[in-house]
Amino acid sequence: MTIQVTWARVWPIISLVMSMAAVSLTQAADSSGSYHICTDSKGRKLFSQTPCPKGQESALREYKIQEPAGGAAAQSMNGSMSYEALRDSNRKYELQRLLKKNRAALKKLEQNKDSKLRAMRENLLSTAGPNARNRASSLYEQLKQAQKKYVEQVVQLKKTIHSQEQELQKLQ
């Protein structure tokens, strides 16, 4: 049994495959679209791919998807970032957020330390009256403990910030 292949039979299949490939390439290159913004009488907004119902104010917005920040160099041959690059990028942004948060926490801790210790010193210096020596001694011990606590917290936070900065430098 022989099967006779002719261009008349093969050509429709080839043209179908080629047109599908052209459509997929066009869609990949043209990453854009549109959406409708519908506003009802109460001012509430609805975002939809379909046109707005009658009686609602409508606006059509178009968008174009831009290339990722890393550009083509950050993408592999199939168009997606490698696992390692994506993991490192996520960790880098996480570290930047943590550093910002920890630096703000350190600044706030130092401000709190200064104001609280200043108030404790003023209280210590203003101690007078009967049994002032015993109260001053107690206040002095509280002041030393508070200073020690703040120093430990500041040192710990600075160590954390330092290790995060080192890790971030390795990722860049």
Q: How far apart are alpha carbons 120 and 134 in whole angstroms?
A: 16
pLDDT at residue number 132:
84
Which residue type is seen at 108?
A: K
Instruction: Say which range, 23-37, 101-115, 154-168, has the weakest mean pLDDT.
Output: 23-37
**What is the average pLDDT score of the chain?**
80
Q: φ and ψ at 96, to 5 degrees?
A: -65, -40
Please list, residue by residue across 53-63, b when 16 or more beta carbons sit within 10 angstroms of its beta carbon and e when fewer do.
Answer: eeebeeeeeee
Tell me the domain boundaries of the chain: 83-171
Instruction: Please determine, for residue 31, whether its predicted confidence score (pLDDT) is greater than 80.
Output: no
Instruction: Say which range, 36-45, 70-79, 89-98, 113-122, has the weakest mean pLDDT.
Output: 70-79
In Å, what is the CA distance from 7 to each residue of 3, 14, 104? 13, 10, 73
- DSSP assigned state of 62: E
Instruction: Give 1-27 pLDDT, tens digit per residue.
Output: 555 656 566 566 666 666 666 555 555
Please report which residue ranges of the chain form alpha helices under DSSP H.
Answer: 7-29, 83-125, 132-171
Q: How far apart are alpha carbons 168 and 161 in whole angstroms?
A: 10
Instruction: Give 37-49 pLDDT, tens digit per residue.
Output: 888 888 888 888 8
Helix (H) or strand (E) holding 61: strand 57-64
pLDDT class of 108 with cuts at 50, 70, 90 = very high
